[in-house]
């Protein structure tokens, strides 16, 4: 039962963090920044927030630094809405999973012919 409560809290944190990130005006934070994943520890004392940017890994790392400096504001805004008993420490981590998945997708398109081309070949026979 505890696992269900933690995963539900992670989803709530994800939703509220996304809303707060849209409001931040720090120039270090990329407007194309996306929260990839939120991991909450079992005792609710630590929260890892993985962020990724469509602008690249360097921009994601710079944005993570900006988010770390705004941690107090983010905590206040998020946990005012969630009303949690224990406020976890937020750890922002730059993640390159979006760029990595885009590279994999590009490689798959080069290996596999497109689906649209296959039916045309069958119709000609």
The pLDDT assigned to 124 comes to 57
Q: Which of 18-27, 28-37, 41-50, 116-125 has the lowest mean pLDDT?
A: 116-125
Q: CA-to-CA distance for 36 and 87, rounded, in angstroms? A: 21
The DSSP letter of residue 31 is T
Query: What confidence tens digit (pLDDT) does each residue in 59-74 have?
Result: 999 999 999 999 999 9
| Structure token pair of residue 59 | 């921009």
Q: Is 56 left (phi over 0), alpha (psi -120 to 50) or beta?
A: left
| Structure token pair of residue 55 | 């602008």
Query: What confidence tens digit (pLDDT) does each residue in 29-69 have?
Result: 988 888 999 999 999 899 999 999 888 889 999 999 999 99
The pLDDT assigned to 39 comes to 94
37 vs 115 pLDDT, higher one: 37
The pLDDT assigned to 12 comes to 92
- How much is the pTM? 0.76
Give one DSSP letter per residue of 83-102, joined into a string: --SS-PEEEEEE--HHHHHH
Query: What confidence tens digit (pLDDT) does each residue in 70-96 have?
Result: 999 999 999 888 888 888 999 999 988
| Structure token pair of residue 56 | 């690249």
How would you label 59-89 residue by residue, b for 16+ Cβ within 10 Å and e otherwise? bbbbbbebbeebeeebbebbbeeeeeeeebe
In this model, does residue 11 exceed pLDDT 80?
yes
The pLDDT assigned to 1 comes to 44
Q: CA-to-CA distance for 116 and 122, rounded, in angstroms? A: 11
């Amino acid at each position: 039962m505890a696992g269900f409560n933690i995963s539900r809290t992670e989803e709530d944190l994800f939703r509220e963090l996304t809303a707060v990130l849209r409001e931040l005006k720090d120039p270090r934070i990329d407007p194309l920044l996306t929260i990839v994943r939120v991991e909450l520890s079992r005792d609710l004392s630590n929260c890892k927030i993985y962020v990724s940017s469509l602008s690249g890994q360097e921009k994601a790392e710079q944005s993570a630094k900006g988010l770390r400096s705004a941690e107090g504001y983010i905590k206040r805004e998020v946990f005012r809405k969630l009303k949690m008993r224990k406020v976890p420490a937020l750890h922002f981590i730059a993640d390159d999973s979006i760029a990595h998945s885009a590279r994999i997708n590009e490689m798959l398109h080069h290996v596999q012919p497109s689906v649209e081309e296959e039916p045309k070949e069958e119709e000609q026979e």
